[in-house]
Amino acid sequence: MLLFLVLTSSLLAVDGAAIYSKCAKCHGENGKHAAFGKSVRIAGWKVKQTVAVLNIFKNMSKYDKFARVMNRQVSKLSDEEILAVAQYISKLK
């Protein structure tokens, strides 16, 4: 499944950088900023880890105010978009 997504996302050329530009205001250009003083730095996270966490935020139905912020960010992202932004984050240093 993941391999399939990797292939389709490169074929469809979903733009991870464009998606990340919306994340940057909280997580910082380089993914090193603690969003709301709460999140850990996400720069360089492995693709699998980011995809898993974003899907947790996407699918959660109960959340505290911080997780709610992230639920809003990712609820409209497709699997391909989540993968593309995760690939982008994995390359942040």
Assess contact for 43 and 93: CB atoms under 8 A.
yes
CA dist 19 and 61 (Å) reads 23
Interaction residues for ligand HEC, span 47-66 (CB under 6 A): 50, 53-54, 66
Q: Does the protein bind ligand HEC through residue 69 (CB under 6 A)? A: yes
Asked whether position 25 contacts ligand HEC by CB under 6 A, the answer is yes
Token pair recorded at residue 15: 């733009």
- Asked if 23 interacts with ligand HEC (CB under 6 A), we say yes
Distance of CA 34 to the CA centre of its chain: 14
Query: Residues interacting with ligand HEC, by CB under 6 A?
Result: 19, 22-23, 25-27, 35-36, 38-40, 42, 50, 53-54, 66-67, 69-70, 73-74, 85
